[in-house]
Structure 1
């Protein structure tokens, strides 16, 4: 399996457990939206809090130019350690939610 297909599989395997998270305070659940054609991998939350509809992104990862870009990470502990443990090197992970000037100091790829 080539590197990008390996990364795709690692991302899917790493994000999939987030769809099993249950919430005590609200009636809702996480859903996976994975598109290998455009290399977009999203976990979103959808549900209800009384009469208020809730809809938000928990995680958004994409592959751009061979790098894994973490565009948004709303998890408590952060997803990057899981991605590294699963086999994606820090040199191939970009923290896209940091401005470009900060990225050289993160320990991850800059772009």
Structure 2
């Protein structure tokens, strides 16, 4: 399997793993959204908590070339290490949400 296809598979596996977590409160479901044609991968939260509508991204990743770009990471512990543990090279991960000074992983 080439690098890009391997990275696609790893990203989907990691997001799917997070989608199986049960939110600690409210009636919230976690939906995976995988768009391989544009290399966009997301985990959305949808539901109700304390009478308020909950919706939005928890994770949003894109693939650009052979890089995994973490556009948004709303997970408490972060997903970066999960991606590395599954086989994505640290130098191939870009933290797009971090300032260039804070982004220790270069493009």
| TM-score by shorter chain over 0.5 | yes
Unpaired stretches in structure 1, ≥5 consecutive residues: none
Match of 2:8, SS state, is helix
Per mean C-alpha deviation after superposition, the further-off stretch among 87-96 and 23-32 is 23-32
Alignment partner, residue 58 of structure 1? 58
Aligned equivalents of 1:89, 1:67: Cα separation in 2:
9
Alignment partner, residue 83 of structure 2? 83
- Give the TM-score taking structure 1 as reference length: 0.90
Match of 2:72, SS state, is strand
Aligned equivalents of 2:49, 2:102: Cα separation in 1:
37
Instruction: State the 1:55 CA deviation.
Output: 0.3
Please say if residues 21 and 29 of structure 1, whose CA atoms lie closer than 8 Å, have aligned partners that are also in contact: no
Instruction: State the 1:24 CA deviation.
Output: 3.2
Superimposed CA distance per residue, residues 18-49 of structure 1 (whole angstroms, 9 cap, x where no aligned partner): 11111232111110001111100100100012
RMSD: 1.2
How many residues align structurally?
107
Unpaired stretches in structure 2, ≥5 consecutive residues: none
Match of 1:10, SS state, is helix
- Give the TM-score taking structure 2 as reference length: 0.93
Aligned equivalents of 2:31, 2:18: Cα separation in 1:
8
